[in-house]
Amino acid sequence: MKICFLGAGSVEFTQGLLADLFALPELDGVEIALHDIDEERLATAEAAARHIPGISRKITSHLIRREALDGADFVINMIQVGMIEATRIDFEIPARYGLRQTIADTIGAGGVFRALRTFPVLDAIAADVRAVCPDAWLLNYTNPLAMNVWYLSQRVRNVVGLCHSVHWTAHDLAELVGVPYEEVSYAAAGVNHQSWLLRFEHEGRSLYPKLDEAIERDPGLLRRVRVDMYRRLGFYPTETSEHSSEYVAWYLKNPGEIERLRIPIGAYLGISEENVRAYERARDAVRAGKPVAVEATMEYAPQVIHSMVTGVPRVIHANVVNRGLVGNLPEGCVVEVPAVVDALGVRPTAVGDLPPQCAALNRSYVSVNELTVRAANDGRPDHIRHALMADPNTAASLTVEQIWSLCDDLVAAHGDLLQRSLR
């Protein structure tokens, strides 16, 4: 069995996934092919991987992507096109217009342009997959996850988007209400980073009343975006408050709301800078011949691979094309729903209609996704503007003339990273 890592130079994340994989005895003898376009990062990732204990394995590294993909059974995609330099552009130019962002990787100005500079690389990845490993499962972590899975699903046979937000939401809420996570049953559905905890139960009883009690005991919880949204919508959103604030029109345009809910503007810039420092620490440790500290991740990819290889069933929350899965979201968009994983692959579960207030917010998100994917597929630069005109936070914060000028500035700034027809 062969597993290919694309973007393996994201050393810390790669190491965590490998530690999980190497702890699974059923995968003994696995071949790991690491790919990155950065020679130094690739060498660091390979050297660090060799220090991870566990099963026997073969590790190879490749600057040429198709060589890494050749014969792969699973492909884990975690590339970041443009790296921290492009992320700075995604924040700094919108900020000049007065557009506030926190993470900027899902929708909004940052999400749209992160997608547009990623799509050309995804197109090349898809061509390589079709040529040398057409039956492989492509497990995508790269954000904006929903847009990337939508784009890839039109180009490769087996693709699923993986994100830890549902798991960690349920985990942290279980801790908050004082129930062991292992005893909690839960199900969420919606779109990536804006799914809704539809069921959250212990021994057949809803835990939402206990959550209400916890919020009442601790008024500080009311100063979180997710808690504010839960109290107004009736269902808890499954991504952090920083993320959640960007996907609606209500918060970031208003300095008073930013203060009330303690929203950290530009938070992802600090996270990105720390990621660079973490990589540099790993690189320096490897150069000194020291092992890199690795912790288990609880990420879905190793679990998915294990279930497909062994047939041991698991339930995860997967991002897949909506083919009758969520009744009141558009067919063909990418939704996040519970899914069974076993030897037959990833089999998503139909959840019916979402609560209408939740679906209404998801439809705004999906509209941004659709217009961004169409911009690339159809070579329509005007759809970039349309996507940001439809984006809730952008539309609430800027005039339409400002939105058009912002798009022009971002297109010019990202330059050659975008496909030629959109420049």
- Look at residue 296 in the predicted model and tell me its pLDDT: 78
**Strand runs labelled E in 10-167:** 30-35, 57-62, 74-77, 137-140, 158-162
Residues with catalytic roles: 164
How many residues can be counted in the chain? 423
- Look at residue 191 in the predicted model and tell me its pLDDT: 98
Beta bridge partners of 161: 140, 319
The torsion defined by the Cα of 324, 327, 331 and 332, in degrees rounded to 10, comes to -70
153 alpha-carbon distance from chain centroid: 16
Among 393, 388, 408, 413, CA closest to 89: 413
- Look at residue 337 in the predicted model and tell me its pLDDT: 98
- Show me where the domains of the chain are located: 82-107+162-265+299-423
SS3 call for 221: helix
Q: Which ranges of 192-341 would DSSP assign to H, the alpha helix?
A: 208-217, 225-233, 241-246, 255-260, 267-287, 300-310
Which residue shows structure tokens 């919108």? Answer: 94
SS3 call for 353: coil
- Look at residue 394 in the predicted model and tell me its pLDDT: 98
- Look at residue 293 in the predicted model and tell me its pLDDT: 79
CA–CA separation, 421 and 207 (whole Å): 51
The per-residue pLDDT string of the chain (423 residues; one tens digit each, 9 = 90 and over) reads: 999 999 999 988 999 999 999 999 999 999 999 999 999 999 999 999 998 999 999 999 999 999 999 999 999 999 999 999 999 999 999 999 999 999 999 999 999 999 999 999 999 999 999 999 999 999 999 999 999 999 999 999 999 999 999 999 999 999 999 999 999 999 999 999 999 999 999 999 999 999 999 999 999 999 999 999 999 999 999 999 999 999 999 999 999 999 999 999 999 999 999 999 999 999 999 899 888 878 778 899 999 999 999 999 999 999 999 999 999 999 999 999 999 999 999 999 999 999 999 999 999 999 999 999 999 999 999 999 999 999 999 999 999 999 999 999 999 999 999 999 999
- Look at residue 292 in the predicted model and tell me its pLDDT: 80
Q: Is the peptide bond before 237 cis (omega within 30 degrees of 0)?
A: no
SS3 call for 400: helix
Which residue shows structure tokens 């300095």? Answer: 255
CA–CA separation, 230 and 201 (whole Å): 16
User: Could you tell me the CA-to-CA distances from 197 to 173, 200, 331, 336 in Å, in that order?
Assistant: 11, 7, 21, 11
CA–CA separation, 408 and 423 (whole Å): 9
- Look at residue 271 in the predicted model and tell me its pLDDT: 94
H and E: helices and strands count for the chain: 17, 13
82-107+162-265+299-423 belongs to CATH 3.90.1820.10: yes
Q: Which residues contact 330 (CB under 8 A, 6 or more apart)?
A: 322, 363, 366, 370
Strand 236-237 to 30-35 pairing: unpaired
C-alpha atoms less than 13 angstroms from C-alpha of 167 in its C-beta half-sphere: 13
163 alpha-carbon distance from chain centroid: 5
Torsion angles phi and psi, residue 180, rounded to 5: -55, 135
Strand 184-191 to 74-77 pairing: unpaired
CA–CA separation, 411 and 30 (whole Å): 42
- Look at residue 374 in the predicted model and tell me its pLDDT: 98
Strand 57-62 to 30-35 pairing: parallel
